[in-house]
A and B are shown apart, each in its own frame.
Chain A
Amino acid sequence: GAVVSQHPSRVICKSGTSVKIECRSLDFQATTMFWYRQFPKQSLMLMATSNEGSKATYEQGVEKDKFLINHASLTLSTLTVTSAHPEDSSFYICSAVAGADTQYFGPGTRLTVL
């Protein structure tokens, strides 16, 4: 149980385009999902908390207009990187909460912006 999927697993796009990443909880419902970013050889950085039916809560320093989060159902949250630039290239990972507070991670999406 507690399986989380992400799609796509890898994406390459041109600078200035927008990219949407989907995060799904496959065998449980998740009121809360999280979005993280990880640069090479660094730890996870929490970007935002996504709550079903309400606006996402962004961490300090994360641009909410650039990283759009939608949590439309109890099994799906999406992250859209708008007007992507090379510095947005990173490993984006979502997690979904099962039970009280246990986070299960998706496999991640590697974004490369040319």
Chain B
Amino acid sequence: QKEVEQNSGPLSVPEGAIASLNCTYSDRGSQSFFWYRQYSGKSPELIMFIYSNGDKEDGRFTAQLNKASQYVSLLIRDSQPSDSATYLCAVNIVSGGYNKLIFGAGTRLAVHP
């Protein structure tokens, strides 16, 4: 069973702080990793994807990947109340000849003013 684990939270951070969201996965063969943001009642929105070990930065977001440790994280700098949402970690696997995503249960982030 391929798994993706996230702390459900809530993770509460003050406005302006760095929010750190973590994710571990079980399939060592996974090559693609994604972070999605989901507001309550809405569908997921892609934030970032990362394929290579190390850091990838996009604006206030930084994704970090460590394949040896099977660990991927998302840092949000200068957190804003509008960042309050559930963050879903997703890992691509190949099953039955098709690519598909395995999602974690999500971490709820609350940014308070």
Interface residues of A (CB under 8 A from B): 32, 34, 42-44, 46, 49, 51, 57, 93, 97, 100-108
Contact = CB atoms under 8 A, between A and B. Distances in A.
Contacts of B100: 34, 46, 49
A43 B88 contact: yes
Nearest to A43: B105
B99 A101 contact: yes
Contacts, number: 47
A35 B65 CA distance: 27
A101 B92 contact: yes
A93 B88 CA distance: 15
Contacts of B106: 43
A32 B94 CA distance: 14
Nearest to A98: B46
Contacts of A103: 34, 46, 90, 101
B43 A107 contact: yes
A49 B90 CA distance: 16
Contacts of A34: 100-101
Nearest to A44: B103
B49 interface: yes
Interface string B29-71: 0001010100000111110010000000000000000000000
Contact of A44 (B46, B88, B99): B88
A44 B105 CA distance: 8
17 contacts: A34-B100, A42-B105, A43-B105, A43-B106, A49-B100, A51-B98, A57-B98, A97-B99, A100-B32, A102-B46, A103-B90, A105-B44, A105-B45, A105-B46, A106-B43, A107-B42, A107-B43
